[in-house]
Amino acid sequence: MDDMTKRIFLSVGLPGVPLFLLFVLMKYIYSDSMVEFFGSERVFLITIFLVLVLFFVFIFSLLRKKRNDGIAKKINSVTYKNNSTHNGDNRF
């Protein structure tokens, strides 16, 4: 793979792989010879299958991202002049 393709995969993460494969295979899946070989009903089922795979990959990547975000939080601790302390962030 070239450098640009690697940078694209690093920026989009896990959903980028099936989307890239779908982009590459799009002209082959919907060509006249494939529709003639499989039939329009099976091509429709293949399309539904690809959409479901993309949906589950997106859900998995979102759940994985949320789980990792909770681990990386930094807890700030502030001590004031009268020895009172505040732990956490100041976003209200």
Residue 92: the pLDDT is 47
Range of the domain at 27: 3-87
Residue 2 has pLDDT above 80, yes or no: no
Give the chain's mean pLDDT. Answer: 76
Per the document, the length of the chain is 92
> Domains in the chain: how many in total?
1
Is 51 a member of any domain? Answer: yes
pTM of the model: 0.53
Is 92 a member of any domain? Answer: no
For 63-76, write each residue's pLDDT tens digit: 776 655 555 555 66
